[in-house]
Chains A and B, each alone.
Chain A
C-alpha cells in the first residue's frame, strides 16, 4: 500500500469534486515547498517568503475569480 493523498481527501470530501482537486493541489504545493530546504527555517517551518507564496496559491485556488 502506498499513500495516495487524493484518496484520503476524497474520503473526507465526497460532495465537492472541485474542492477535492483544490485540496490535492494545495497539498502538492505545500509538499513541493517543504521538499526544498531553502523554503524552511532552521526550526523546519516555512519561511515568510514561502508562506506568502503558499497563501497566494491557496487564494488563487480557493477564489480564482479574485486572482484574475
Chain B
C-alpha cells in the first residue's frame, strides 16, 4: 500500500505532498489538472522512467532543475519503506539519476539500497521491489497501472502477457539453460581424450620418477667412488708430502756428492799440476841458467858486433880517403891532360912537358893503386857488414829465445802460484762440503726414522765410503716410490676424471629429467584441472539440462494454467463488477491471450470479445480481465486506475465503484476520475489547476 507520495518539480507539480489511505482513494479534478502526473510520479519513483517519455528531462517543470519523487509504501512483509528518486537535469537536457531505498522503522530509517553504492543498482532495486510489492515493471505497465483508453484493448490479448505471466521467462530460461548445457557438453566431449592423455602422462611421470631414482642411486655410487678416489689421492698426497723432504735431501745429497766429487777431481788435477810443476822446478832453474847463458852470449855478440862496427867504420874512413885521393888524382890527371899550351895560363911560366908526363904517369899509377885499395876496402866493409848482420841475427835469436824463456818462466811461476792458491782455497770448501754431506745424511737418517710407511734401506753411510752407485741406488729407491705414487696418482686422477665426467653427465641428465618432469607435472596439473573443470561442467550440464526440462514443463503449465485461470477470474470479476451474469463462459486463447466469450443471449455461441460488444461493455470486460491478470500474477498491494469509468453509463459506473473492492478486497485502489459528482464518500484528493501549475486538496 502506498501511504505517501511527494513530488518536486514533477511536470505541473512544483511541490506536492500526498497521503493515501487503504481501500479506495479517488483523485479528481478537471482535465489537464495534473491527475495523471501523480501516477506518472509513482511509476517514475518505482522504475526510473515513465512509459511514453524518452527522457527524464521531459518530466521536469519550468521551475526547477531537479525532479524528485518520494514514495512511502507498506510492503508485503508489513514493514514501511521509503523510496526516493531524483534526476538532476543539466542545461543540455542530460539527466543524472539517484535513488535510495530505506526501511522506515520506529527507531529511524535504515538504508537498504542506494544507487551510489551498488553494482547494477537498478537491477537490485527492481528485484527488491518485486520482493516487497510483487510488482514488476512489465506487470505495472500491463495491469497495475490501468491507463485511460487502454482498458478494452487487452481483450485482443497482448504479446507482453507472456512476459507478465512468466511464460517468456520460463521459455527463455529453458532455452538459455539448454544452450549453456550444450556448450558444456561440447567441452565435455574432450574428456575421454584428456583422460587418456592424462593417463599417458602419468605413466611417463612414473617412468621419469623411476629414471630419477636410478640416476640418484647411480649418483650415490659415483659420489662414493669419487670420495674413495679423493681419499686415495689425499693419502698419496700425504705420502708424497712425507717423501718430499727426503727427496729434497736426496737430491741435495746427490748434488753435493757430485759437487764434492768434482771438487776432489779439481783438487787432484791442481795437485797433479802442482806436482808436475814441482817436477818442472828444475827446468825453471835450467831455464834461468839458459837465460843467463843467453844473456852472456848476447853480450859477447854485442862486443863482436861493436868490433866489427869499429872495423867497418875504419874501413869506411879509409874508403873515404881513398875515394878522395882517387878524386884528387883524377882531377889532376884531367887538368894535366887538358894542358895544350906551353905556358901557364895563370902565371905565364913555361910548362915542362916532361914533367907533366911524369906526373901523369905517377898519378895514373897512384890512381890504380887507390882504386885497388878502394875495391879491397869495399870488399872488407861488405864482409864486415855481412858478419855484423850475421852476428846481429844471432843476437836477435838469442834475445827472442831469452824473451820466450823469460815468458815461460813467468807463466810457470804464475801457474804455480794459481794452483797453490786454488789448492789453498778448495781445501776448506771441500771440507765444508763434506761437512754438509754429513749433515744431509744425518738429516736423511732422521727423516727415515719418522717415515715408517716408506721402506727405506737402512744405510749407514760413511762420508768416506760414498760411492756414486750407492747414492744413485739410494736415491732411486725414493724415485721409484715417487714414480709409483705418481703413476698411482695419475691412474686415480684418470679414474676420478672419468667419474667426475660421469657425474657431470648424470647431473645434466637429471636436470633435463627434472625440467621434463616439471613440464610434465605442469601438464598433468593442467589436465587434472581441466578434468576437474570438465567434471564440474558435466555436473553443471546435468543440472542445466534438468532445470531446462523443468522450465519447459513450467512454461507449458504456466501457459495452460494461466489461460484457464485468467478465463475463470475474468468471468468472476465481470460478474462482481456488473452485478449480473452476461456470459455462460469465457475462454482465453493460450497462444495470444485474446478473450472469447459465450454470451447468454447467443445460446452458448463463442465469439471474440472485442468484436461482440460495445464500448462500455468491453471496458468492463477489459477491466475484469486486467484485474484477473493482476490477481493471477500477484496479490497486488495497490492498483492505479486512470479514468476506468470513461464511457460507462451511470448504472455501470455506480456498480463499478460499489463493487470493485469486492473483486480485489485486499488491494489499495487509486482511481483518477473527473466524473465523481460527489457521490463517493471515500478518501478524495482534489487536483486543482492553478494556471500552469497544479495544487492538491486532500478531502479526508
Q: Chain B 97-141, CB within 8 Å of chain A: the 1/0 string?
A: 000000000000000000000000001001100100000111100
The stretch of B165-173, B212-220, B578-586 that contacts the partner chain:
B165-173
Nearest-neighbor residue (CB-CB) of A40 within chain B: B163
Candidates A3, A35, A55; contact of B163 at CB < 8 Å: A35
Contact in complex: A35, B172 (CB < 8 Å):
no
Our pick among A8, A35, A58 for the contact of B180 (Cβ within 8 Å) is A58
Would A36 and B172 count as touching, CB distance under 8 A?
Answer: no
> What mask results when residues 125 to 162 of chain B are scored 1 for a CB within 8 Å of chain A, else 0?
01100100000111100000000000000000001000
Decide if A8 touches B557 in the complex (CB within 8 Å).
yes
Roughly how many angstroms separate A46 CA and B194 CA in the complex, as a whole number?
Answer: 35
Q: Would you call B165 and A30 a contact (CB within 8 A)?
A: no
In the complex, chain A residues whose CB is within 8 Å of the CB of B635? 2
**B-chain residues with CB within 8 Å of residue A55 when the two chains form the complex:** 176, 180
Given A12-B553, A13-B546, A26:B177 Cβ within 8 A: yes
Contact yes or no, B163 A23, CB < 8 A: no
Task: Report A5 CB to chain B, min CB distance, Å.
Answer: 6
Q: Does B247 have its Cβ within 8 Å of any Cβ on chain A? A: no
* B408 CB within 8 Å of chain A: no
Closest to A26 in B: B173
Question: Nearest Cβ distance between residue A54 and chain B, in whole angstroms?
Answer: 6
Least CB separation from A59: chain B residue: B180
Residue with the greatest number of chain B CB neighbours at <10 A, chosen from A9, A19, A23 = A23
In whole angstroms, how far apart are the Cα atoms of A13 and B553 in the complex?
Answer: 11
Task: Tell me, rounded to whole Å, the shortest Cβ–Cβ distance linking A9 to chain B.
Answer: 6
Contacts of B589 in A (CB 8 A): none
Q: B544 and A62: CB pair below 8 A?
A: yes
Digit string of B551-562 for contact with A (CB within 8 Å is 1, else 0)? 101100110011
Closest to A54 in B: B176
In the complex, whether B536 has a CB less than 8 A from a CB of chain A is yes
> What per-residue 1/0 map shows which CB atoms of B521-539 lie under 8 Å from chain A?
0000000000001001100
User: Given that A23-B551, A26-B547, A28-B130 are contacting pairs, would A34 and B558 also be in contact in the complex, using a CB cutoff of 8 Å?
Assistant: no
Question: In the assembled complex, how far is the CB of residue A21 from the closest CB belonging to chain B, in whole angstroms?
Answer: 11
Specify which chain B residues have a CB less than 8 angstroms from the CB of A22 in the assembled complex: 543, 547
Select one of B130, B136, B550, B565 contacting A9, CB under 8 A: B550
Measured between beta carbons, the chain A residues less than 8 angstroms from B553 are: 12
- Given A1-B632, A26-B177, the answer on whether A34 and B168 have CB atoms closer than 8 Å is yes
Tell me if A44 is interfacial: C-beta within 8 Å of chain B.
Answer: yes
Give Cα A34–Cα B631 distance, bound, in whole angstroms.
20
CB distance from B564 to the nearest CB of A (A): 10
In the complex, what's the smallest C-beta–C-beta distance from A31 to chain B, in angstroms?
A: 4
- Residues from chain B with a CB closer than 8 A to the CB of A28 are 127, 130
Verify A34–B172 contact, CB threshold 8 A. yes
The yes or no answer to B202 lying at the interface (CB within 8 A) is: no
Chain B residues, CB < 8 A from A32? 123, 126-127, 130, 136
Partner of B632, one of A2, A23, A35, A62: A2
Which residues of chain B are within 8 angstroms of A51 by Cβ–Cβ distance? 176
Contacts of A19 in B (CB 8 A): 543, 546-547
Is B633 in contact with chain A by the CB < 8 A criterion?
A: yes
Using Cβ atoms and an 8 Å threshold, which residues of chain A touch B126? 32, 35-36
In the complex, what's the smallest C-beta–C-beta distance from A41 to chain B, in angstroms?
12
Q: Which residue of A lies closest to B561 (CB)?
A: A3
Chain B 168-194: CB-based contact to A (< 8 A → 1; otherwise 0): 111011001100100000000000000
Q: CB of B634 within 8 A of chain A?
A: yes
The answer to whether A34 and B163 touch (CB under 8 A), given A8-B554, A13-B546, A55-B176, is: yes
Complex CA–CA separation, A29 to B124 (angstroms) = 10
Give the distance in Å from the alpha carbon of A46 to the alpha carbon of B633 in the complex.
22
Q: How far is the CB of A8 from chain B (nearest CB, A)?
A: 5
- Contact check, A63 vs B550: say whether CB atoms are below 8 A apart: no
Assess the B166–A35 pair: CB atoms within 8 A: no
Do B634 and A5 touch across chains, with their CB atoms under 8 A apart? no
B169 touches A30 (CB 8 A): yes
Q: Are B550 and A5 in contact (CB under 8 A)?
A: no
- C-alpha gap A2/B635 in the complex (Å): 7
Task: Check if B95 is an interface residue, CB within 8 A of chain A.
Answer: no
Closest to B543 in A: A62
Alpha-carbon gap, A32 to B219, bound state (A): 69
Q: Counting CB contacts under 8 A, is B260 at the interface?
A: no
Q: Enumerate chain B residues within 8 angstroms of A59, measured Cβ to Cβ.
A: 180, 540
Chain B residues with CB under 8 Å of A9's CB are 550, 554
- Could you tell me the distance between the alpha carbons of A29 and B633 in the complex, rounded to whole angstroms? 16
Q: How far is the CA of A36 from the CA of B533 in the complex (A)?
A: 34
Quick check: B540 and A62 within 8 Å, CB to CB?
A: yes
Point out the residues of chain A lying under 8 angstroms from B177, CB to CB: 26, 58
Within residues 14 to 64 of chain A, which ones have a CB less than 8 A from any CB in chain B? 19, 22-23, 26-36, 44-46, 51, 54-55, 58-59, 62-63
Q: Which of A8, A31, A45 contacts B136 (CB 8 A)?
A: A31
* Inter-chain contacts of A23 with B (CB < 8 A): 547, 550-551
CB pair B168–A8 under 8 Å, yes or no, is no
A19 to B544, CA, bound (A): 10
Partner of B138, one of A2, A26, A34, A66: A34
CB distance from A42 to the nearest CB of B (A): 12
- Determine the chain B residues whose CB is within 8 A of the CB of A46 once the complex forms: 172, 176
Given A46-B172, A62-B544, are A31 and B166 neighbors across the interface (CB < 8 Å)? Answer: yes
Contact of A2 among B136, B543, B554, B633 (CB under 8 A): B633
CB distance from B88 to the nearest CB of A (A): 21
The answer for the CA separation of A46 and B537 in the assembled complex, in Å, is 24
Residues of B within 8 A of A3 (CB): 165-166, 558, 561-562, 632-633
What's the Cα separation between A12 and B170 when bound, in Å?
13
Q: Hey, which chain A residues are within 8 Å of B562, CB to CB?
A: 3
Which residues from chain B contact A26 at a C-beta distance below 8 Å? 173, 177, 547
Question: Least Cβ distance of A2 to chain B in Å?
Answer: 6
Chain A residues with CB under 8 A of B634: 2
Q: How far is the CA of A67 from the CA of B387 in the complex (A)?
A: 150
- Residues from chain B with Cβ under 8 Å of A66 in the complex: 533, 536
Are A63 and B632 closer than 8 Å at their CB atoms? no
Within 8 A of A (CB), among B602-642: 631-635
Cβ of B565: which chain A residues have Cβ within 8 Å of it?
1
Chain A nearest CB, measured from B402 CB (Å) = 133
* 10 interchain residue pairs of minimum CB distance: A30-B169, A35-B138, A31-B169, A35-B137, A12-B550, A35-B136, A34-B163, A62-B540, A30-B173, A8-B554
For the complex with contacts A30-B168, A34-B168, A58-B180, 10 further pairs of A-B residues with Cβ separation under 8 Å are A1-B632, A3-B562, A19-B546, A22-B547, A30-B169, A31-B169, A35-B138, A46-B172, A59-B540, A66-B536
Q: List 14 A-B contacts (CB under 8 A).
A: A3-B166, A3-B558, A8-B557, A13-B550, A22-B543, A29-B127, A30-B169, A34-B168, A35-B126, A35-B136, A44-B168, A54-B176, A62-B544, A66-B533
